[in-house]
Structure 1
Amino acid sequence: MTFSIVARCAETGWFGMAVASSSPAVAARCAHARAGVGAVASQNITDPALGPRVLDLMALGASAEQAIAALRGSTEHMDYRQVLAVDNRGRTATHSGPRALGVWASAEGENVACGGNLLADPQVPAAMVESFEASQGHLGDRLLLAMRAGLARGGEAGPIHSAGLKLVDAVSWPVADLRVDWTQDCPIAGVEALWALYQPQLDAYVIRALHPTGAPSYGVPGDL
Protein backbone atom coordinates (compact mmCIF):
# COMPACT_ATOMS: atom_id res chain seq x y z
CA MET A 1 0.00 0.00 0.00
CA THR A 2 3.08 2.20 -0.27
CA PHE A 3 5.85 3.53 -2.48
CA SER A 4 8.91 5.26 -1.09
CA ILE A 5 12.47 6.46 -1.56
CA VAL A 6 15.48 6.56 0.76
CA ALA A 7 18.49 8.59 -0.33
CA ARG A 8 21.76 10.28 0.59
CA CYS A 9 23.02 13.56 -0.83
CA ALA A 10 26.59 12.90 -1.93
CA GLU A 11 27.49 16.61 -1.67
CA THR A 12 26.12 17.43 1.79
CA GLY A 13 25.86 14.06 3.56
CA TRP A 14 22.19 14.69 4.31
CA PHE A 15 19.83 11.72 4.38
CA GLY A 16 16.18 11.74 3.49
CA MET A 17 13.12 9.64 2.94
CA ALA A 18 9.81 10.27 1.19
CA VAL A 19 6.77 8.00 1.14
CA ALA A 20 3.14 7.91 -0.01
CA SER A 21 0.32 5.46 0.63
CA SER A 22 -3.39 4.79 0.47
CA SER A 23 -3.23 4.24 4.26
CA PRO A 24 -3.46 7.10 6.77
CA ALA A 25 -0.37 8.63 8.39
CA VAL A 26 2.10 6.49 6.44
CA ALA A 27 5.15 8.56 7.38
CA ALA A 28 4.46 8.07 11.08
CA ARG A 29 5.13 4.36 10.68
CA CYS A 30 7.47 3.99 7.72
CA ALA A 31 9.96 6.89 7.67
CA HIS A 32 13.26 6.54 9.56
CA ALA A 33 16.49 8.52 9.24
CA ARG A 34 19.44 9.33 11.47
CA ALA A 35 22.11 11.99 10.89
CA GLY A 36 25.47 10.52 9.94
CA VAL A 37 24.02 7.00 9.74
CA GLY A 38 21.43 6.56 7.01
CA ALA A 39 17.78 6.37 6.04
CA VAL A 40 15.37 3.43 6.14
CA ALA A 41 11.86 2.69 4.93
CA SER A 42 9.97 -0.07 6.74
CA GLN A 43 6.70 -0.81 4.93
CA ASN A 44 4.16 -3.41 3.73
CA ILE A 45 2.22 -4.82 6.69
CA THR A 46 4.53 -2.47 8.52
CA ASP A 47 6.64 -3.17 11.58
CA PRO A 48 7.88 0.31 12.59
CA ALA A 49 10.52 -1.24 14.87
CA LEU A 50 12.53 -2.45 11.88
CA GLY A 51 13.64 1.05 10.87
CA PRO A 52 15.43 1.87 14.14
CA ARG A 53 16.95 -1.63 14.23
CA VAL A 54 18.53 -1.17 10.80
CA LEU A 55 19.77 2.30 11.78
CA ASP A 56 21.27 0.91 15.00
CA LEU A 57 23.14 -1.75 13.04
CA MET A 58 24.45 0.78 10.54
CA ALA A 59 25.50 3.08 13.40
CA LEU A 60 27.64 0.20 14.68
CA GLY A 61 29.39 -0.04 11.32
CA ALA A 62 27.26 -2.43 9.29
CA SER A 63 26.67 -1.61 5.66
CA ALA A 64 23.11 -1.30 4.41
CA GLU A 65 23.40 -4.78 2.92
CA GLN A 66 24.80 -6.28 6.12
CA ALA A 67 22.09 -4.62 8.23
CA ILE A 68 19.28 -5.92 6.01
CA ALA A 69 20.87 -9.38 5.97
CA ALA A 70 21.04 -9.37 9.78
CA LEU A 71 17.39 -8.39 9.90
CA ARG A 72 16.47 -11.22 7.53
CA GLY A 73 18.35 -13.74 9.62
CA SER A 74 17.03 -12.70 13.02
CA THR A 75 13.49 -11.35 12.61
CA GLU A 76 10.16 -13.11 12.39
CA HIS A 77 7.60 -12.38 9.68
CA MET A 78 10.11 -10.98 7.18
CA ASP A 79 8.09 -12.68 4.42
CA TYR A 80 5.54 -9.89 4.95
CA ARG A 81 7.94 -6.96 5.14
CA GLN A 82 9.53 -4.55 2.71
CA VAL A 83 12.62 -2.65 3.91
CA LEU A 84 14.86 -0.20 2.05
CA ALA A 85 18.12 1.25 3.39
CA VAL A 86 20.94 3.60 2.43
CA ASP A 87 24.05 3.95 4.58
CA ASN A 88 26.60 6.71 5.18
CA ARG A 89 28.70 5.65 2.18
CA GLY A 90 25.75 5.68 -0.18
CA ARG A 91 25.48 1.90 -0.30
CA THR A 92 21.96 0.56 -0.56
CA ALA A 93 20.01 -2.62 0.10
CA THR A 94 16.39 -3.73 -0.14
CA HIS A 95 14.28 -6.59 1.10
CA SER A 96 10.86 -7.54 -0.25
CA GLY A 97 9.31 -10.61 1.31
CA PRO A 98 7.38 -12.98 -0.96
CA ARG A 99 4.16 -12.18 0.89
CA ALA A 100 4.36 -8.46 0.08
CA LEU A 101 1.03 -7.18 -1.16
CA GLY A 102 -0.02 -7.07 -4.79
CA VAL A 103 2.54 -6.03 -7.38
CA TRP A 104 5.74 -5.19 -5.54
CA ALA A 105 9.19 -4.14 -6.72
CA SER A 106 12.33 -2.28 -5.73
CA ALA A 107 15.23 -0.58 -7.48
CA GLU A 108 18.60 0.70 -6.36
CA GLY A 109 21.16 3.20 -7.55
CA GLU A 110 24.10 5.09 -6.11
CA ASN A 111 22.91 6.79 -2.91
CA VAL A 112 19.27 5.83 -3.53
CA ALA A 113 16.83 2.95 -3.14
CA CYS A 114 13.13 2.90 -3.99
CA GLY A 115 10.40 0.35 -3.49
CA GLY A 116 6.70 -0.21 -3.29
CA ASN A 117 3.86 -2.66 -3.01
CA LEU A 118 0.35 -2.76 -4.43
CA LEU A 119 1.86 -0.87 -7.35
CA ALA A 120 0.09 0.01 -10.57
CA ASP A 121 3.29 -0.81 -12.48
CA PRO A 122 6.39 -2.76 -11.38
CA GLN A 123 8.57 -0.07 -12.99
CA VAL A 124 7.51 2.58 -10.47
CA PRO A 125 10.65 2.20 -8.28
CA ALA A 126 12.96 2.23 -11.31
CA ALA A 127 11.35 5.44 -12.55
CA MET A 128 11.92 6.99 -9.13
CA VAL A 129 15.60 5.99 -9.06
CA GLU A 130 16.07 7.37 -12.57
CA SER A 131 14.48 10.67 -11.55
CA PHE A 132 16.63 11.00 -8.44
CA GLU A 133 19.86 10.24 -10.26
CA ALA A 134 19.03 12.74 -13.00
CA SER A 135 18.13 15.55 -10.59
CA GLN A 136 20.21 18.20 -8.85
CA GLY A 137 19.71 20.63 -6.00
CA HIS A 138 18.38 20.29 -2.47
CA LEU A 139 17.80 16.73 -1.30
CA GLY A 140 14.22 17.59 -0.33
CA ASP A 141 13.48 18.79 -3.85
CA ARG A 142 15.05 15.69 -5.38
CA LEU A 143 13.06 13.34 -3.16
CA LEU A 144 9.79 15.01 -4.12
CA LEU A 145 10.70 14.94 -7.80
CA ALA A 146 11.26 11.20 -7.46
CA MET A 147 7.88 10.79 -5.79
CA ARG A 148 6.30 12.69 -8.68
CA ALA A 149 8.07 10.37 -11.13
CA GLY A 150 6.68 7.36 -9.28
CA LEU A 151 3.21 8.85 -9.38
CA ALA A 152 3.52 9.59 -13.10
CA ARG A 153 4.49 5.96 -13.73
CA GLY A 154 1.27 4.87 -11.98
CA GLY A 155 2.14 4.96 -8.29
CA GLU A 156 -0.05 2.78 -6.15
CA ALA A 157 -2.82 0.80 -7.82
CA GLY A 158 -5.45 2.76 -5.87
CA PRO A 159 -5.64 6.39 -4.75
CA ILE A 160 -3.05 7.63 -2.27
CA HIS A 161 -4.17 9.56 0.80
CA SER A 162 -1.07 10.25 2.92
CA ALA A 163 2.56 11.19 2.32
CA GLY A 164 5.62 12.44 4.14
CA LEU A 165 9.13 13.84 3.79
CA LYS A 166 11.88 13.44 6.40
CA LEU A 167 15.37 14.97 6.25
CA VAL A 168 18.31 14.75 8.64
CA ASP A 169 21.54 16.74 8.72
CA ALA A 170 24.15 17.15 11.46
CA VAL A 171 21.83 17.53 14.47
CA SER A 172 20.15 14.74 16.40
CA TRP A 173 16.62 15.56 15.28
CA PRO A 174 15.06 15.68 11.80
CA VAL A 175 15.59 19.11 10.25
CA ALA A 176 12.38 18.53 8.27
CA ASP A 177 9.57 16.14 9.10
CA LEU A 178 6.58 17.09 6.98
CA ARG A 179 3.42 15.02 6.69
CA VAL A 180 0.00 14.96 5.16
CA ASP A 181 -1.69 12.27 7.21
CA TRP A 182 -4.96 12.09 5.26
CA THR A 183 -6.49 13.90 2.31
CA GLN A 184 -8.85 13.19 -0.55
CA ASP A 185 -6.57 15.34 -2.72
CA CYS A 186 -3.02 14.42 -3.76
CA PRO A 187 -0.93 14.09 -0.58
CA ILE A 188 2.31 14.47 -2.52
CA ALA A 189 1.10 17.88 -3.69
CA GLY A 190 0.29 18.66 -0.07
CA VAL A 191 3.81 17.79 1.05
CA GLU A 192 5.24 19.82 -1.83
CA ALA A 193 3.27 22.84 -0.60
CA LEU A 194 4.51 22.31 2.96
CA TRP A 195 8.09 21.98 1.72
CA ALA A 196 7.82 25.22 -0.28
CA LEU A 197 6.71 26.96 2.93
CA TYR A 198 9.20 25.25 5.25
CA GLN A 199 12.42 25.10 3.22
CA PRO A 200 13.21 28.85 3.44
CA GLN A 201 12.85 28.63 7.24
CA LEU A 202 14.68 25.34 7.79
CA ASP A 203 18.05 26.81 8.73
CA ALA A 204 16.43 29.34 11.05
CA TYR A 205 14.77 26.58 13.07
CA VAL A 206 18.14 24.88 13.55
CA ILE A 207 19.73 28.17 14.66
CA ARG A 208 16.90 28.73 17.15
CA ALA A 209 17.65 25.36 18.70
CA LEU A 210 21.43 25.75 18.88
CA HIS A 211 21.93 29.52 19.31
CA PRO A 212 18.66 31.15 20.40
CA THR A 213 20.27 34.53 21.19
CA GLY A 214 21.34 34.85 17.57
CA ALA A 215 18.17 33.44 16.06
CA PRO A 216 16.26 35.31 13.38
CA SER A 217 13.03 37.06 14.26
CA TYR A 218 10.03 34.78 14.48
CA GLY A 219 7.99 37.08 12.30
CA VAL A 220 4.72 36.50 14.17
CA PRO A 221 2.37 38.95 15.92
CA GLY A 222 3.79 40.00 19.28
CA ASP A 223 7.39 39.15 18.37
CA LEU A 224 9.66 42.01 19.36
Structure 2
Amino acid sequence: MTFSIVARSADGLLHGVAVASKFLAAGALVPAAEAEVGALASQAHANLAYRAQGLALLRTGVAAADVVSGLVAADPGRDDRQLGVVGVSGDGASWTGPRCHPWAGGQAGDGWAAQGNILAGPQVIDAVRDAWLGGGDLPFPQRLLAALRAGDRAGGDRRGRQSAALLVVQRRGGYAGTGDELVDLRVDDHGDPVTELGRLLDIHTMLFGRPDPATLRDLTGSLAEEVGALLAAVGHPVGPAGLDEALASWGGVENLEERIVPGRIDPVVLDHLRRTAPAVDA
Protein backbone atom coordinates (compact mmCIF):
# COMPACT_ATOMS: atom_id res chain seq x y z
CA MET A 1 0.00 0.00 0.00
CA THR A 2 3.02 2.25 0.31
CA PHE A 3 6.46 3.31 -0.76
CA SER A 4 8.95 5.02 1.50
CA ILE A 5 12.55 5.97 2.12
CA VAL A 6 14.33 6.10 5.46
CA ALA A 7 17.67 7.88 5.54
CA ARG A 8 20.26 9.84 7.50
CA SER A 9 22.31 12.85 6.50
CA ALA A 10 25.96 12.56 5.49
CA ASP A 11 27.08 13.98 8.85
CA GLY A 12 24.76 11.62 10.75
CA LEU A 13 22.97 14.46 12.56
CA LEU A 14 19.63 14.16 10.78
CA HIS A 15 17.37 11.16 10.27
CA GLY A 16 14.14 11.05 8.36
CA VAL A 17 11.34 9.21 6.61
CA ALA A 18 9.32 10.14 3.52
CA VAL A 19 6.28 8.05 2.62
CA ALA A 20 3.41 8.06 0.12
CA SER A 21 0.45 5.71 -0.22
CA LYS A 22 -3.06 5.07 -1.48
CA PHE A 23 -4.08 4.86 2.14
CA LEU A 24 -5.61 7.38 4.52
CA ALA A 25 -3.05 9.20 6.69
CA ALA A 26 -0.07 6.92 6.06
CA GLY A 27 2.01 9.42 8.02
CA ALA A 28 0.12 8.44 11.17
CA LEU A 29 1.22 4.81 10.86
CA VAL A 30 4.40 4.36 8.89
CA PRO A 31 7.24 6.64 10.08
CA ALA A 32 9.22 6.82 13.29
CA ALA A 33 12.51 8.57 14.01
CA GLU A 34 14.64 9.68 16.93
CA ALA A 35 17.40 12.25 16.77
CA GLU A 36 20.91 10.77 16.62
CA VAL A 37 19.38 7.28 16.91
CA GLY A 38 17.75 6.35 13.61
CA ALA A 39 14.57 6.09 11.59
CA LEU A 40 12.24 3.37 10.38
CA ALA A 41 9.17 2.78 8.26
CA SER A 42 6.66 0.02 9.06
CA GLN A 43 4.23 -0.66 6.21
CA ALA A 44 2.24 -3.19 4.17
CA HIS A 45 0.25 -4.91 6.96
CA ALA A 46 2.00 -2.51 9.33
CA ASN A 47 3.06 -3.61 12.78
CA LEU A 48 2.98 -0.38 14.78
CA ALA A 49 4.98 -1.98 17.57
CA TYR A 50 7.98 -2.08 15.23
CA ARG A 51 8.35 1.67 15.67
CA ALA A 52 9.02 1.81 19.41
CA GLN A 53 10.78 -1.56 19.46
CA GLY A 54 13.02 -0.66 16.53
CA LEU A 55 14.04 2.69 17.99
CA ALA A 56 14.77 1.01 21.32
CA LEU A 57 17.13 -1.42 19.59
CA LEU A 58 18.80 1.35 17.59
CA ARG A 59 19.25 3.34 20.81
CA THR A 60 21.38 0.53 22.22
CA GLY A 61 23.61 0.49 19.14
CA VAL A 62 22.11 -2.47 17.27
CA ALA A 63 22.85 -2.23 13.54
CA ALA A 64 19.98 -1.63 11.12
CA ALA A 65 20.18 -5.12 9.58
CA ASP A 66 20.08 -6.73 13.01
CA VAL A 67 17.12 -4.56 14.03
CA VAL A 68 15.22 -5.80 10.99
CA SER A 69 16.21 -9.40 11.64
CA GLY A 70 15.21 -9.21 15.29
CA LEU A 71 11.87 -7.57 14.71
CA VAL A 72 10.69 -9.88 11.95
CA ALA A 73 12.01 -13.03 13.63
CA ALA A 74 9.83 -12.33 16.67
CA ASP A 75 6.72 -11.49 14.62
CA PRO A 76 4.40 -14.31 13.46
CA GLY A 77 2.88 -11.87 10.95
CA ARG A 78 6.20 -11.04 9.31
CA ASP A 79 5.25 -12.52 5.94
CA ASP A 80 2.75 -9.67 5.46
CA ARG A 81 5.05 -6.92 6.74
CA GLN A 82 7.43 -4.48 5.16
CA LEU A 83 10.09 -2.60 7.09
CA GLY A 84 12.93 -0.16 6.43
CA VAL A 85 15.50 0.87 9.03
CA VAL A 86 18.51 3.17 9.15
CA GLY A 87 20.78 3.78 12.13
CA VAL A 88 23.54 6.19 13.08
CA SER A 89 26.10 4.51 10.81
CA GLY A 90 26.44 1.86 8.15
CA ASP A 91 23.96 0.55 5.62
CA GLY A 92 20.23 0.75 5.97
CA ALA A 93 18.17 -2.44 5.83
CA SER A 94 14.84 -3.44 4.33
CA TRP A 95 12.46 -6.39 4.74
CA THR A 96 9.63 -7.44 2.44
CA GLY A 97 7.50 -10.37 3.52
CA PRO A 98 6.68 -12.94 0.85
CA ARG A 99 2.92 -12.33 1.17
CA CYS A 100 3.13 -8.58 0.48
CA HIS A 101 1.03 -7.64 -2.56
CA PRO A 102 3.08 -7.23 -5.75
CA TRP A 103 5.02 -5.44 -6.88
CA ALA A 104 6.83 -5.42 -3.56
CA GLY A 105 10.49 -5.09 -2.66
CA GLY A 106 13.21 -2.86 -1.36
CA GLN A 107 16.80 -1.73 -1.68
CA ALA A 108 19.32 -0.34 0.79
CA GLY A 109 22.73 1.27 0.91
CA ASP A 110 24.94 3.42 3.08
CA GLY A 111 22.58 5.53 5.17
CA TRP A 112 19.32 4.72 3.39
CA ALA A 113 16.68 2.11 2.65
CA ALA A 114 13.76 2.31 0.21
CA GLN A 115 10.82 -0.09 0.05
CA GLY A 116 7.33 -0.39 -1.33
CA ASN A 117 4.41 -2.70 -1.98
CA ILE A 118 1.45 -2.70 -4.39
CA LEU A 119 3.68 -0.63 -6.65
CA ALA A 120 3.56 -0.04 -10.39
CA GLY A 121 6.81 -2.02 -10.61
CA PRO A 122 10.43 -2.20 -9.48
CA GLN A 123 11.13 1.06 -11.33
CA VAL A 124 9.49 2.92 -8.45
CA ILE A 125 12.17 1.90 -5.97
CA ASP A 126 14.86 2.37 -8.62
CA ALA A 127 13.66 5.96 -9.05
CA VAL A 128 13.60 6.59 -5.29
CA ARG A 129 17.14 5.24 -5.01
CA ASP A 130 18.49 7.24 -7.94
CA ALA A 131 16.94 10.49 -6.75
CA TRP A 132 18.28 9.98 -3.24
CA LEU A 133 21.79 9.17 -4.40
CA GLY A 134 21.77 12.04 -6.89
CA GLY A 135 20.40 14.62 -4.46
CA GLY A 136 23.42 15.18 -2.24
CA ASP A 137 23.44 18.92 -2.95
CA LEU A 138 19.91 19.39 -1.57
CA PRO A 139 19.02 20.16 2.05
CA PHE A 140 18.14 16.91 3.80
CA PRO A 141 14.31 17.37 3.95
CA GLN A 142 14.22 18.44 0.30
CA ARG A 143 16.38 15.47 -0.63
CA LEU A 144 13.91 13.07 0.97
CA LEU A 145 11.04 14.79 -0.79
CA ALA A 146 12.86 14.60 -4.13
CA ALA A 147 13.27 10.85 -3.68
CA LEU A 148 9.57 10.49 -2.85
CA ARG A 149 8.60 12.64 -5.82
CA ALA A 150 10.73 10.50 -8.14
CA GLY A 151 8.98 7.35 -6.96
CA ASP A 152 5.60 8.99 -7.46
CA ARG A 153 6.50 9.99 -11.02
CA ALA A 154 7.67 6.43 -11.72
CA GLY A 155 4.21 5.10 -10.95
CA GLY A 156 4.13 4.90 -7.17
CA ASP A 157 1.30 2.95 -5.58
CA ARG A 158 -0.46 1.21 -8.49
CA ARG A 159 -3.85 1.86 -6.89
CA GLY A 160 -3.42 5.63 -6.99
CA ARG A 161 -2.60 8.46 -4.57
CA GLN A 162 -4.05 9.54 -1.24
CA SER A 163 -1.53 10.51 1.45
CA ALA A 164 2.09 11.46 2.01
CA ALA A 165 4.27 12.48 4.93
CA LEU A 166 7.74 13.75 5.80
CA LEU A 167 9.39 13.36 9.21
CA VAL A 168 12.90 14.70 9.90
CA VAL A 169 14.55 14.82 13.31
CA GLN A 170 17.64 16.63 14.54
CA ARG A 171 18.79 17.20 18.11
CA ARG A 172 17.26 20.54 19.18
CA GLY A 173 16.31 21.15 15.56
CA GLY A 174 12.64 21.79 16.31
CA TYR A 175 10.83 25.05 16.98
CA ALA A 176 12.99 27.48 18.98
CA GLY A 177 15.34 24.60 19.79
CA THR A 178 12.79 23.13 22.20
CA GLY A 179 12.31 19.79 20.42
CA ASP A 180 13.90 17.45 17.91
CA GLU A 181 11.22 17.45 15.16
CA LEU A 182 12.84 19.57 12.46
CA VAL A 183 10.04 18.73 9.98
CA ASP A 184 6.83 16.85 10.70
CA LEU A 185 4.36 17.31 7.84
CA ARG A 186 1.44 15.17 6.72
CA VAL A 187 -1.02 15.20 3.85
CA ASP A 188 -3.69 12.77 5.00
CA ASP A 189 -6.18 12.75 2.11
CA HIS A 190 -5.45 14.51 -1.19
CA GLY A 191 -5.61 13.82 -4.91
CA ASP A 192 -1.93 14.73 -5.38
CA PRO A 193 -0.39 14.30 -1.93
CA VAL A 194 3.29 14.39 -2.87
CA THR A 195 2.89 17.72 -4.65
CA GLU A 196 0.91 19.05 -1.71
CA LEU A 197 3.62 17.85 0.65
CA GLY A 198 6.13 19.85 -1.38
CA ARG A 199 3.98 22.97 -1.04
CA LEU A 200 3.82 22.51 2.72
CA LEU A 201 7.57 21.99 2.93
CA ASP A 202 8.14 25.24 1.06
CA ILE A 203 5.95 27.09 3.56
CA HIS A 204 7.63 25.32 6.48
CA THR A 205 11.07 26.29 5.18
CA MET A 206 10.04 29.92 4.77
CA LEU A 207 8.57 30.17 8.25
CA PHE A 208 10.86 28.00 10.32
CA GLY A 209 14.12 27.74 8.40
CA ARG A 210 17.14 29.28 10.08
CA PRO A 211 18.63 32.41 8.49
CA ASP A 212 21.80 31.98 6.47
CA PRO A 213 24.35 34.30 8.13
CA ALA A 214 26.04 34.88 4.77
CA THR A 215 22.90 36.44 3.29
CA LEU A 216 21.77 38.64 6.21
CA ARG A 217 21.61 42.36 5.41
CA ASP A 218 22.40 45.17 7.85
CA LEU A 219 19.39 47.29 8.77
CA THR A 220 21.01 50.64 8.05
CA GLY A 221 20.63 53.51 5.64
CA SER A 222 18.08 53.26 2.85
CA LEU A 223 17.23 49.63 3.69
CA ALA A 224 16.30 50.61 7.25
CA GLU A 225 14.14 53.42 5.88
CA GLU A 226 12.39 51.04 3.48
CA VAL A 227 11.75 48.44 6.18
CA GLY A 228 10.41 51.12 8.52
CA ALA A 229 8.01 52.36 5.85
CA LEU A 230 6.88 48.81 5.04
CA LEU A 231 6.28 48.03 8.69
CA ALA A 232 4.18 51.17 9.08
CA ALA A 233 2.15 50.11 6.05
CA VAL A 234 1.34 46.76 7.67
CA GLY A 235 0.38 48.32 11.01
CA HIS A 236 3.66 47.98 12.91
CA PRO A 237 5.17 51.47 12.87
CA VAL A 238 8.56 52.04 14.41
CA GLY A 239 8.12 53.41 17.91
CA PRO A 240 10.42 54.49 20.73
CA ALA A 241 11.79 50.92 21.06
CA GLY A 242 13.19 51.18 17.55
CA LEU A 243 13.18 49.27 14.27
CA ASP A 244 14.24 45.92 15.74
CA GLU A 245 11.24 45.87 18.08
CA ALA A 246 8.79 46.78 15.31
CA LEU A 247 10.23 44.13 12.99
CA ALA A 248 10.15 41.49 15.74
CA SER A 249 6.54 42.37 16.53
CA TRP A 250 5.47 42.00 12.91
CA GLY A 251 7.59 38.85 12.48
CA GLY A 252 5.84 37.23 15.43
CA VAL A 253 2.43 37.93 13.92
CA GLU A 254 3.59 36.44 10.61
CA ASN A 255 5.12 33.36 12.32
CA LEU A 256 8.60 34.38 11.13
CA GLU A 257 10.13 34.75 14.57
CA GLU A 258 12.69 32.04 13.87
CA ARG A 259 14.14 34.25 11.11
CA ILE A 260 14.34 37.54 13.04
CA VAL A 261 17.91 38.71 13.79
CA PRO A 262 18.47 41.98 15.72
CA GLY A 263 20.14 44.66 13.65
CA ARG A 264 19.88 42.66 10.44
CA ILE A 265 17.23 41.20 8.15
CA ASP A 266 16.93 37.84 6.44
CA PRO A 267 16.20 38.23 2.69
CA VAL A 268 13.35 35.72 3.16
CA VAL A 269 11.80 38.07 5.74
CA LEU A 270 12.40 41.11 3.56
CA ASP A 271 10.78 39.48 0.53
CA HIS A 272 7.75 38.46 2.58
CA LEU A 273 7.42 41.96 4.04
CA ARG A 274 7.61 43.50 0.57
CA ARG A 275 4.92 41.11 -0.74
CA THR A 276 2.67 41.68 2.28
CA ALA A 277 2.80 45.47 2.51
CA PRO A 278 0.79 47.80 0.33
CA ALA A 279 2.90 49.82 -2.09
CA VAL A 280 4.89 52.47 -0.25
CA ASP A 281 7.45 55.07 -1.23
CA ALA A 282 10.73 53.73 0.09
Q: What TM-score, normalized to structure 2?
A: 0.71
1:219 paired to 2:253: yes
> Which residue of 1 is the match for residue 81 of structure 2?
81
RCO comparison, higher one (Cα < 8 Å, 6+): 1
Shift of residue 96, structure 1, vs aligned partner: 0.6
Which one is further off, 108-117 or 28-37? 108-117
CA RMSD of aligned residues (A): 1.7
Q: What is the distance in 1 between the residues matched to 2:113 and 2:59? A: 19
Q: What TM-score, normalized to structure 1?
A: 0.88
Q: What is the distance in 2 between the residues matched to 1:84 and 1:119? A: 16
Q: Which runs of 5+ in 1 are unaligned?
A: 205-215
Q: Which digits, 9 at most, give the CA deviation of each residue in 1:134-160, with x for residues without a partner?
A: 112211111111011111211111211
Q: Which digits, 9 at most, give the CA deviation of each residue in 1:97-141, with x for residues without a partner?
A: 111122101011221110100000112112211111111221111
1:202 paired to 2:208: yes
Aligned residues: 210
- Confirm or deny: 8 A CA contact 1:90 1:112 kept in the other structure: no
> Which residue of 2 is the match for residue 13 of structure 1?
13
Aligned partner letter, 2:69: A
Which one is further off, 37-46 or 104-113? 104-113
> Which residue of 2 is the match for residue 117 of structure 1?
117
Written as runs of structure 1 = structure 2, the 5 A alignment for 1:126-205 is: 126-135=126-135, 136-171=137-172, 172-183=179-190, 185-203=191-209
Larger Rg: 2
Q: Which runs of 5+ in 2 are unaligned?
A: 173-178, 211-247, 258-282
Aligned partner letter, 2:28: A
Q: Which digits, 9 at most, give the CA deviation of each residue in 1:46-77, with x for residues without a partner?
A: 12221221111010110001111111221221
Shift of residue 202, structure 1, vs aligned partner: 2.8
> Which residue of 1 is the match for residue 63 of structure 2?
63
Shift of residue 220, structure 1, vs aligned partner: 3.9
Moved over 6 A (4+): none
Shift of residue 201, structure 1, vs aligned partner: 2.8
> Which residue of 2 is the match for residue 40 of structure 1?
40
Q: What percent of counterpart residues are identical?
A: 33
